[in-house]
Structure 1
């Protein structure tokens, strides 16, 4: 008996547009990039990743740097050289000082790095006003440093101080922040993501300071050496969150992340081979019971970004679709196939209620199709084909847009093939790894694979 397809509505093409504060430039989308995961990158590696990001309509990278990392200097030098050299114009970069990874940054070092890199052509300056954008990952206890840093560098300061809440972040150090970035990109518990956290940030900022809204496709981490072992709900998150961005029209968007393999929210490529692939060595170094990234590419999540980002930048107006695409994502291990290895749903250390991890995820194959008109979908799992009715959209005229849905794989094992067709003609097809109860080292992999076609 075929299960009923669960179809979600597509992105609406007529959405409300907010007023952009005068201090802010045209809307920009950045991907958070962990520089510490690129210590072995060559100049060519940096150029390759930047070109991939540009191809996905990403405007630049927010370069996360940890205090005391001896590789910051060589890595940043290559990053800015690569960005300055891109043939299609500079890829935009700005510094994001991480105050959590290896402790707080000394004030003088922050000033020195901003002064060193802000003159680069590729350094992002909102609205072309000459003020280099600088952000943080946490570090609210060092807020008192920033009036002096701003005076010395003239930077435009948008910190991420989510842990103390929007109101406290907005007023810290006598209102030192010129805007705020949020890290609230994942839902709390087995529910879908809402825009309540974003509304709280915008209310705290008022109408004249910009908000950097986060978007992420997934979250799972199991790194015992760092006391990290939890997941947040990622089902339908990427598509849902982009719809929210298009509706809310924030001043900036930050994708979390380009290359954080350890938290499973990367959208960039996985490099496993030397010389530039040792980022995957993180799992062994952190005592992880399995390498949950190596066989789990997330490249598919970049496929629809040009459409999402253009919708965001145009305020949800109709966008001409020149190529139809299909994105498919799912976990390869059923939720109760193997040992959970202590993984919790939510993180109790953040004051959240812990849930069994299998409550946070659904055993389903999810798909999102960028289409110019309604079409049909079939999902084959282990040779059993599940057919859905025509994909429908609630966009203007019920025509072009992103169409989403899912099929349960509960009780089914084997290869996954998702096909979208119209009038009997195949439009796109994704063939993915099989659903299996065989788990790496007997441990459940809560990460997803994300694939696309063509």
Structure 2
């Protein structure tokens, strides 16, 4: 697994550890020994909610810290061993002493408190924050509203942000009171675009190997499937549902995030979809969203779409087609990279069609890459239940091409939006949630101004486009509209919709 992670240009594993499981001590010892041999990095993430013996005690944390923080294979940031958590904000006071005794850099996930609430705990004991916010709400696509709140709060204190990215989420483990999904669909493509735009100091992929939440990008191992028995799952929904293809373009995406201009020498294709139509069988009582986190619940079919999703790493534009049950449909690209070099993404609806699935990318009639995927069929239902997990396939071109690089790359520390500033690189975007602002977001993001509190950038360019001529028309949003500078920008450039903006 460490070699596969290195092949994907992943720098380290977060070792999630919880109380009540004596096996973790031997597992950690083996993992750190393997990391030393592999020249790979690990760091500890203390799970304060998942342990059968309750939250971590300060003494237990210090014991593990004394064992591992000084090891050469332990991940460091600015020379300090990095430690994280999954929740545990009620134990924030413990970390005052842990930091004093170990000198660690503390980057917890205290998402339940929000950005400013987490930063205020114990006099600002957190050196930065991780937000476990990798999935969209309900039937919406992923936006960057939460990231914006963290970005603003952390920037005020000059502290770093760790942004989460995940490809999927579905869990049905009634033994642990878990049964819901969050929208996957375009998420893997959308979220990497947001990461490249935002340029956080850290990115954490959620997860490497959590089969129980269908968020893994690791291979499937039969000897690691015991949680489906322990969690009393109605069936093993990870079996025969590989996710390895989601790693295929990570070297390009991670290197781009880090500010490089990675060269494409081979083109390729990745595709993912559910293997039975939503209406083919029972939804298993699985909602989209979860009331356990105070969310309005939808039916699963309202959230997870009957579509075949695909991404292609290409040196120039190409055609895509999807065949389901012998019927071929021309696909299209929802996202095209600026300059034509990079990751393209789109999807087609399969609706009620069933049968074998073939996804093909071609140029000038010649096939670049083709995936012969798993069939879509009611027969793929298990025990009369729909499997809301995704099947993922991938293929690379058999031939190499002359090296092609995107015409530009994001700066490692781009501008962050504030009053009067214009973010770099955005050339396409939409509203992050308030539909009244969607038209303004699309217009202003195309001109390089895409404030992350109101808009979500979906494509970056190599230079800021020119805006229409400037006129002196200061403005703000009408009552009830938080526009974060959109109206002032738009009205100063002769686009001042009266239903959204109010001139001074």
Shorter-chain TM range is: 0.7 to 0.9
Corresponding residue for residue 19 of structure 2: 67
How many Å separate the matches in 1 of 2:331 and 2:138?
A: 29
Residue 193 of structure 1 contacts residue 240 of structure 1 at CA under 8 Å; is this kept in 2?
Answer: yes
TM-score by length of 2: 0.76
Of residues 255, 258, 274, the one that matches 1:313 is: 258
Which residue number in structure 1 is paired with residue 8 of structure 2? 56
Tell me, which stretches of 5 or more residues in structure 2 are unaligned? 397-504
Cα displacement (A) at 1:68:
2.1
Moved over 6 A (4+): none
In the other structure, the counterpart of 1:264 is 214
Give the superposition deviation at 1:394.
Answer: 4.4
The equivalent position to 1:121 in structure 2, one of 48, 52, 72, is 72
Please say if residues 334 and 347 of structure 2, whose CA atoms lie closer than 8 Å, have aligned partners that are also in contact: no
Give the corresponding residue for 1:303: 248
Counterpart of 1:241 in structure 2 is 191
Distance 1:270 1:234 in 2: 19
The answer (yes or no) to whether the contact 2:255–2:261 under 8 Å persists in 1 is: no
SS in 1 for 2:264: coil
- Kept in 1, the 8 Å contact 2:336–2:345? The answer is no
Secondary structure in structure 1 of the residue aligned to 2:361:
strand
On the 8 A contact 1:180/1:212 being kept in 2, the answer is: yes
Match of 2:279 in 1: 336
SS of residue matched to 1:339: coil
Ranges in structure 1 where 5+ consecutive residues have no aligned partner: 1-48
TM value normalised by structure 1? 0.84
Cα RMSD, aligned residues only: 1.3
- The aligned residue for residue 375 of structure 1 is 318
Deviations along 1:121-143, whole A, 9 cap, x unmatched? 1101113x2x1000001111111
CA distance in 1, matches of 2:194, 2:94: 34
| Structure-2 residue corresponding to 1:442 | 384
1:163 matches 2:112: yes
Q: Within 2, Cα distance between the matches of 1:271 and 1:289? A: 19
> 2:331–2:346: 8 Å Cα contact kept in structure 1?
no
Partner of 1:232: 182
Contact 1:374 1:392 in 2 (8 A): no
Are the equivalent residues in 2 in contact too, given 1:393–1:401 (CA < 8 A)?
A: no
Which entry has the higher C-alpha Rg, 1 or 2? 2
**Which of the pair has the greater relative contact order for Cα pairs under 8 Å at 6+ separation?**
1
Q: Secondary structure at the match of 1:104?
A: coil
Checking the alignment, whether the CA contact within 8 Å between 1:430 and 1:451 is kept in structure 2 is yes
One of 185, 201, 206 as aligned partner of 1:251: 201
Q: Distance in 1 between matches of 2:184 and 2:335?
A: 22
Cα distance in 1 for residues equivalent to 2:253 and 2:357: 26
Correspondence for 2:62 among 93, 105, 111: 111
Check if 1:427 corresponds to 2:427.
no
